[in-house]
């Protein structure tokens, strides 16, 4: 299969590119390197030392003999170039990771809100319009988020994208209809993903584009089988207050003895998946596309749910590092239950890595190894959801 990977230099995109290349697929990475530039803006860097993109693909060629072509166009702005790449490479599939993905970053200021909306919506819409204009039959696999659903489920399991509702239609009696699960985003970033979903539904209906939307939980871990093969292939590890996600932050904090930063009560329940399972899920999604004319295929890409304070306790018990309950900078429910359907991936043969299995390996082999690169000043989260209105603004 020929696969174009938008955002293929990022945390999920890079190991996915290597995994697909290792399976014998022909891979092209398209990435404007904005994530590396954002590190400069935030005065931070990946805990792991990531090589420049050209060194990464050279190392992959040296280790495996396989070539990965790269392009550094901006998918949200360089429409003609994107169309040209599609026409030349003629991919069977495009995996779309190329969005600003941090909720705290999207809430930092008006500029960050507008950038996130402009970048994410235009990247997604440019891809859809370019595929239609190219006339190619390309399967799009998009990385969406569990956060499109919100995290409150009224006691039921969150279904995979669609919900059957029954409405009392008066004289017509009870009518039943399948709808997209109602969107309930908790940040500007998450909101862009709910809007992506409408673009996909429209283009699947109007142009019969084949689209799979993967509603992914929080990714943890760093390395995959392929990124371990050479030091220059190492994956990025974000630990800062904007881009660092909760579990990897706790693992890094444990490695350097920094009290674990639980927001509020820590009663927030979230869905999780290991990075090695992310790459396997993307491959499974590529191998099982919807047919032309089908509605958008939506899968919940997560393997476990956990409460933030339980994760902190698990890591604290294993490492002895204390827990620090910090004021929650976000506007979110303190406590929520979360149950999620993930039958489709399990039926396709996914055999998930569990939280308990991989946690300590991550602390010792990655976080402790690179602890010297951590700048503790970058750990606190300084992005406040209600900074403009709160009396207790920082
Ligand atoms: P990341 O920021 O590490 O990677 C995104 C990549 O896309 C970066 O390399 C960036 O330079 C590139 N990019 C962004 N805008 C671009 C543009 N306009 N043109 C070209 N390239 C562009 O993020 P990630 O963690 O790898 O996440 C990838 C996708 O997966 C995102 O869409 C995110 O919403 C989704 N996702 C991530 C997680 C997670 O925990 N990391 C969880 C659920 C969903
Ligand atoms: N949290 C803490 N302490 C911390 C950091 C976070 O308690 O030091 C809490 C947050 O308040 C939140 C939860 O942990 O309740 C998750 O935060 P997060 O930063 O790990 O995850 P989130 O902002 O939801 O975003 C991440 C990715 C995003 C992806 C999303 C999947 O950055 O790209 O879409 O996870 S999901 O959460 O399932 O929507």
What does the pLDDT look like over 283-295, one tens digit per residue?
999 999 999 999 9
**Which residues are paired to 141 by β-bridges?**
95, 212
Cα–Cα nearest to 230, from 33, 55, 28, 9 = 55
Q: Which of 149, 193, 222, 297 is labelled catalytic?
A: 193
Indicate which residue's Cα is closest to atom 19 of ligand 2: 245
Asked, for residue 362, whether it belongs to a domain, the answer is: no
Residue tagged active-site, from 124, 145, 224, 261: 145
Residue 371 lies inside a defined structural domain of this protein: no
User: Is the residue at 99 inside a domain?
Assistant: yes
Compute the distance between CA of residue 279 and CA of residue 276 in angstroms, rounded to an integer.
Answer: 5
Mean pLDDT of the chain: 95
- The CA–CA distances, whole Å, from 87 to 3, 24, 80, 131 equal 13, 22, 11, 9
Q: Is the Cβ atom of 35 under 6 angstroms away from ligand 2? A: no
**Residue 219: in which H helix or E strand, if any?**
strand 218-220
Is it the case that residue 265 has pLDDT exceeding 60? yes
Q: Where residue 105 sits, what CATH number does that domain have?
A: 3.40.50.720
Is the pLDDT at 388 greater than 70? The verdict is no
What angle do the packed helices 308-319 and 355-362 form, to 10 degrees?
Answer: 50
Q: Count CA within 13 A, CB hemisphere, residue 138.
A: 28
Average pLDDT over residues 33-53: 98
The torsion angles phi and psi of 332, rounded to 5 degrees, stand at: -150, 160
Nearest to 305 by CA among 280, 339, 279: 339
Closest ligand 1 atom to Cα of 119: 18
> pLDDT of 293-329, one tens digit each?
999 999 999 999 999 999 999 999 999 999 999 999 9
CA of 245 to the centre of ligand 2 (A): 5
Q: Does residue 393 register a pLDDT over 60? A: no
Percentage of the chain surpassing pLDDT 70? 98
What's the number of domains the chain is made of? 1
- Contact between residue 74 and residue 32 where contact means Cβ atoms under 8 Å apart: yes
> Under a CB-based contact definition with an 8 Å cutoff, are residues 288 and 348 in contact?
yes
What is the span of the domain harbouring residue 74?
A: 2-243+274-302+339-353
**67 CA to centre of ligand 1 in angstroms:** 22
Nearest to 355 by CA among 314, 390, 318: 314
156-203 tens-digit pLDDT: 899 999 999 999 999 989 999 999 999 999 999 999 999 999 999 999
Atom 6 of ligand 2, residue of closest alpha carbon: 246
Residue whose CB lies within 8 A of the most ligand 1 atoms, among 11, 188, 246, 299, for a mutation test: 11
Asked, for residue 110, whether it belongs to a domain, the answer is yes
Residue 329 falls inside a structural domain? no
Residue 156 lies inside a defined structural domain of this protein? yes
Residue 361 lies in a domain: no
Q: Which of 56, 106, 96, 102 is nearest to 75 (CA)?
A: 96
pLDDT at residue 341 tops 80: yes
Measured CA to CA, the distance from residue 262 to residue 327 in angstroms comes to 8
Query: What global pTM score does this model have?
Result: 0.97
d(CA 222, CA 291): 34
- Strand-pairing partners, residue 26, are 2
Give this complex's ipTM: 0.99
CB of residue 323 inside a 6 A radius of ligand 2:
no
262 within a domain of the structure (yes/no): no
Largest CA distance in the chain: 71
């Amino acid at each position: 299969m020929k696969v174009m990977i938008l955002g293929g230099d990022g945390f999920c995109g890079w190991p996915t590119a290597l995994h697909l290349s290792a399976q014998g697929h022909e891979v092209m990475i398209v990435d404007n390197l904005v994530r590396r530039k954002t590190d400069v803006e935030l005065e931070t860097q990946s805990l792991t030392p990531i090589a420049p993109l050209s060194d990464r693909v050279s190392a992959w060629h040296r280790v495996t003999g396989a070539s990965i072509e790269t392009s550094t166009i901006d998918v949200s702005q360089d429409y003609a170039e994107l169309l040209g790449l599609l026409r030349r490479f003629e991919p069977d599939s495009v995996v779309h990771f190329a969005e600003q993905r941090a909720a705290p970053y999207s809430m930092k200021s008006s500029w960050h809100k507008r950038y996130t909306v402009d970048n994410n919506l235009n990247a997604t819409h440019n891809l859809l319009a370019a595929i239609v204009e190219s006339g190619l039959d390309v399967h799009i696999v998009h990385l969406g988020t569990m956060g499109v659903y919100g995290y409150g489920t009224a006691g039921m399991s969150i279904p995979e994208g669609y919900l059957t509702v029954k409405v009392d239609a008066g004289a017509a009696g009870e009518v039943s209809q399948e709808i997209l699960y109602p969107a309930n985003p908790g940040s500007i970033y998450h909101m862009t993903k709910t809007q992506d979903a409408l673009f996909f539904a429209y283009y699947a209906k109007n142009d019969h584009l084949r689209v799979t939307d993967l509603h992914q939980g929080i990714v943890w871990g760093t390395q995959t089988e392929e990124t371990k093969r050479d030091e220059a292939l190492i994956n990025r590890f974000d630990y800062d207050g904007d881009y660092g996600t909760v579990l990897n932050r706790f693992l890094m904090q444990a490695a350097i003895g920094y009290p674990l930063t639980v927001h509020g009560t820590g009663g927030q329940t979230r869905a999780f998946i290991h990075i090695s399972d992310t790459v396997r899920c993307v491959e499974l999604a590529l191998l099982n596309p919807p047919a032309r004319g089908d509605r958008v295929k939506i899968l919940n890409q997560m393997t476990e749910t956990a409460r933030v304070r339980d994760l902190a306790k698990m890591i604290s018990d294993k490492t002895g590092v204390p827990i620090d309950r910090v004021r929650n900078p976000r506007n979110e429910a303190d406590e929520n239950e979360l149950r999620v359907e993930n039958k489709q991936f399990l039926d396709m043969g996914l055999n998930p890595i569990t939280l308990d299995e991989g946690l300590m390996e991550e602390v010792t082999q990655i976080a402790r190894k690179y602890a010297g690169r951590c700048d503790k000043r970058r750990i606190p989260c300084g992005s406040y959801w209600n900074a403009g209105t709160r009396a207790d603004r920082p």
